[in-house]
């Protein structure tokens, strides 16, 4: 899934986003482009679950295409 996270502005934010995803799916693949604020996630979790976890971590995402 591809997400845009407006509030992700630095490497520390990127690490927090990755940690939040890995907390519920340790096998997930998370690729982050901080300048564009785009996150690509390969996971067995639903988009809804990932969105909930990132919201709770303070990084509300918007699902992209």
**Per-residue pLDDT at 13:** 97
Q: What mean pLDDT comes out for the span 17-24?
A: 98
Confidence of residue 26 (pLDDT cuts 50, 70, 90): very high
Model's pTM, two decimal places?
0.94
Provide the residue ranges of all domains of the chain, joining segments of one domain with +: 2-64
pLDDT in tens, 30-65: 999 999 999 999 999 999 999 999 999 999 999 997
Contacts of 34 (CB under 8 A, 6+ apart): 8, 9, 10, 11, 13, 14
Confidence of residue 9 (pLDDT cuts 50, 70, 90): very high
N-term to C-term CA, the chain: 9
Top-level CATH class of 2-64? alpha beta
């Amino acid at each position: 899934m591809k997400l845009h996270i407006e509030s992700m502005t630095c490497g520390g934010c990127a690490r927090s986003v990755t940690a939040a995803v890995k907390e519920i799916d340790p096998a997930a693949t998370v690729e982050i482009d901080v300048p564009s604020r785009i996150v690509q996630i390969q996971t067995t979790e639903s988009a809804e679950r990932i969105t909930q976890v990132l919201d709770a971590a303070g990084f509300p995402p918007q699902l992209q295409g």
